[in-house]
Amino acid sequence: MEIRMKNKLLWILLAFVSAAFNTQAAPQLMPLQQQSQAAHLSAEILTKYHYKHLPLDDILSSKIFDNYLKALDSEKVFFLQADIDQFANARTSLDDAILKEDLNIPFAIFNLYQQRITEHITYARSLLTKGFDFESKESYQYNRKNASWPKSEDEMNDLWRKRVKNDWLRLKLAGKDDKSIVDTLSKRYDNSLKSISKVKSDDVFQNFMNAYTMAIDPHTNYLGVRASDEFDISMKLSLVGIGAVLQDKDEYTTIRELVAGGPAALSGKLKVGDRIVGVGQDENSPTTEVMGWRIDDTVALIRGTENSVVLLDVLPAEAGPDGKHQLISLVRKKITLDKRAAKKSIIEVKDGSITRHIGVISLPEFYQDFAARQKGDKDFKSATRDVSRLLGELNNDKVDSVLIDLRNNGGGSLYEAIELTGLFVDKGPIVQQRDSQGKVTVESDTNTGVAWSGPLGVLINRASASASEIFAAAIQDYGRGVVIGERSFGKGTVQTVVNMDQLAKNEKPEFGELKMTVAQFFRINGGTTQLRGVTPDISLPTMTDAEDFGESSFDNALPWTQIKAADYTPTGDLTGIVPMLAASHNVRISKDKDFQYLEEDIAEFNTQRKKNLISLNEADRRKEREAQEAKVKLREKDREADKGANATDKESAEARSHAFQDDGLQSNERKLDADLAIEKANKNTKDVLLNEAANILSDEVGLLKANPRLAASTLPKLDMH
C-alpha cells in the first residue's frame, strides 16, 4: 500500500511538471544511485551520533518537507497553493525515501519547481512588450517570507507583474530609456532561464540533504564533494590554482582580480576583464570550451595539482566577441588566500593634545590547515599564529591598546579559538563542552605567558558566531578586555566533519561529508552562548533583527541552559571602568555627526523593513530618491564644513555618493570597472563603529593612566612570551 501510494504521488508530481502552461519543459533531473546511498548512510550516522539523537520518522519528515520548500521558494513566488496541496502525501514520506534509497519524490518536487521558474520568468519576459503605467497608486511587497502561497494563476501573475514593474521603475529612475530597460531586463530574465537549465542532480541532492540535516539542528549540514573541497579551502586558506578571482559575466568566465604573487599576476599575460573561453590540462592538449559553463565547473578545470600546467584560451578584455584569442600556459601553484587572513591596522585617536594609537587586528574566521598540522608541517596556516605575529608587530609599534575585530566572523576551528584566547590570558580554562551523553570536559590553554598584556577590546556584531563567541565570552569572563558591539549570533554548538567516503571505503569521492553537531559548548562561568549570544559590555547600534538573523531565528535551535562553572580565576575586573567608558561613549556619540547619521539610517531601515512595501508610483519614488540624494549631499557638505575637506576628500565624497545611488542593475550587469568602483567605495567608506570602538579603548587607556588603583584592578600583570 505504501509503495503504491508513493508511485501514485510520483506520477502526479511528474505529470504536474510537464503539464501547466505551454512552456517548454526543463530537462528532468533524476537521483543518482550514489546519492540515494549517501542519504541512507547519512541517516544512519545522524540517528546514532548526532547530539540530539532524533529518529528519522514521520515527524522529522514533516520538518524536512517544510525546510525543502523553504530552501526552494522561501519568498513564495514560484509555487502555487495547488502545488503545495499536491505535495501533501510527501510530507510524511521523505523519511521512507531516505531509508529505502528512493529519492524520486524530492527530485520530482524540484523538477516542478524548475518548471514553475521557467513559466514565471517567461511570463515576466512577456510583460516587457507591454510597458507599465507608473501613474497608478499601487505598492509591491518585496519580502514575502511570511506571506501565503498564491492561490491562483491570476494572483501569481499579478505578483510577477509588480516584480517586473519594480525592476523597470528602478532602471527608469536611474535614467535609462525604455529601449535600454527592455534590453537589460530581457537579458536578465534570459540569464535566469539559462541558470536554471544549468542546475545539476548534485545541486538538487545538496539542497534536499541540507533540508534533512538542518531539520535536526541549524548547524548540521551535508557537504557534497565540491562543497567539501570549498570547506577545506576555507579552513586552510589556500588552494592550488592560477591566482585569479573569476566571475560569470555574459556567459564568459571573466577575471575580476589577480592575486598578487600568483601565477596569473606574475605571468604578466593576464589582466582584469580578460575572458577565459577554454581550458586545457597541458600545453599539448586541446582546450575544452567553457563558454556558457557554470563558474564552479570552469574553476574545477583550472585548479589542479601543484606544479602542473594549465592552458587557457583567453579572449582579451578589449577584444570583441570575434576578436583574436590568446593561448596562455601557466604552472599551477599553491595560492594563499591572504584576503581572508588576519590583518592589522593602527587607528590614531586624538584626546586633546594627546594622540593614542589603537592597534586593530581584523580576523574574518578561525582558520587552520588541519592536514598540514597533522603532517607535522611546522609552518601550517593558523589564525593564532598570524595574530601572534601581528601582535608582535603592534608591540614594536608601541600601540596603547589592541582591538580584536570579530565582526562577521562566523567561527571555524575550536582549537584556534582556545589558542587565540591564550594569547591574552595565561594558562587556564577557556571553554567547556558537553557531549550527547552529558559528559562535560574543560578545554584549557596550556601555554605559559601571553602575547599582549595591555588594554584589550573585542568588537563583535550579530554575525560573530561560534568560535568568535567562545573567544569573546572567555575574554569577558576573565575580565581581560572590554567587549563592544552587538549581541552575537548565539551559536553554542560544536560540529565535527565526518567523511562518508572513508566510512564506506570508497575508492573515489562520491558520498561527501557531514558537518554534524556533536556537543554543546559552555562558558567557563557555566552559562552558554546558545540562543543568547555574548552580550557586549558597551552596545553599538545594529541593523539586524533577531527574528530574521541569529540563533533565535531558528525554530529548532537548542535551548539556553547552564552547567557548573569551571575552576578559573579572573585576571581583571572591569566592573569599575565599564560605566565610565559607557558614559564617555554616550557623550561623544551625541556630538558625532557620522554616528548620528548611522543611527538615522538604521531607524529609517527598520521603519522600511516593518512597512515591507515599496511604491510603484513613479512620482512617489522620484520624491523618495530625490530626498535620499539631497540627504547624502547635505551630509557630505556638513562633513566638508567640519573638516575643511580638500580636493581629494571631495572627489572621494563624489565617488562614494555616486557608488551608493541605485542604478537598478545587478552586479553582473554592470561594466566591470563600474562594479569594481562600487566595491572600492564600499571598502573605503568610513567605519563609524570601528572608530567608536577605538575611541572607547582610548578612553580606557586615559583612565588607567590617570588612576593607578583602577589600573591595578583592571590590568593585573601578566607574563609576556
- Burial of 99 per CB tally in 10 Å (0-12, 13-18, 19+): middle
Per DSSP, the residues of 390-417 read HHHHHHHTT-SEEEEE-TT---B-HHHH
SS3 for 122-149 is HHHHHHHHCCCCCCCCCEECCCCCCCCC
Specify whether 405 is catalytic: no
Q: How far apart are the C-alpha atoms of 273 and 276, rounded to whole Å?
A: 10
Beta partners for residue 609, in sequence order:
none
Q: How far apart are the C-alpha atoms of 249 and 244, rounded to whole Å?
A: 15
Cell triple for 55 = 529518529
Q: How far apart are the C-alpha atoms of 632 and 628, rounded to whole Å?
A: 6
Which residues neighbour 456 within 8 Å (Cβ) at sequence distance 6 or greater? Answer: 401, 402, 403, 404, 424, 475, 480, 481, 482
Cell triple for 629 = 540624494
Burial 145-176 (b: 16+ CB within 10 A, else e): eeeebbeeeeebeebbbbbbbbbbbbbbbeeb
Catalytic residue among 217, 274, 369, 477: 477
Q: How far apart are the C-alpha atoms of 127 and 131, rounded to whole Å?
A: 7
Beta partners for residue 355, in sequence order:
350
CA-nearest of 523, 519, 521, 520 to 568 is 523
551, 557 Cβ separation under 8 angstroms: yes
Q: How far apart are the C-alpha atoms of 201 and 223, rounded to whole Å?
A: 14
Q: How far apart are the C-alpha atoms of 599 and 604, rounded to whole Å?
A: 9
Q: How far apart are the C-alpha atoms of 27 and 22, rounded to whole Å?
A: 15
Q: How far apart are the C-alpha atoms of 468 and 411, rounded to whole Å?
A: 5
Which residues neighbour 706 within 8 Å (Cβ) at sequence distance 6 or greater? Answer: none
157, 123 Cβ separation under 8 angstroms: yes
| 238-241 and 252-258 beta bridge pairing | unpaired
Give the number of other Cβ atoms within 10 Å of residue 485's Cβ: 28
Specify whether 145 is catalytic: no
At 97, give phi and psi (nearest 5°): -60, -40
Catalytic residue among 36, 453, 466, 488: 466
Specify whether 400 is catalytic: no
Q: How far apart are the C-alpha atoms of 640 and 654, rounded to whole Å?
A: 12
Catalytic residue among 464, 488, 491, 675: 491
Q: Which residues are catalytic?
A: 466, 477, 491
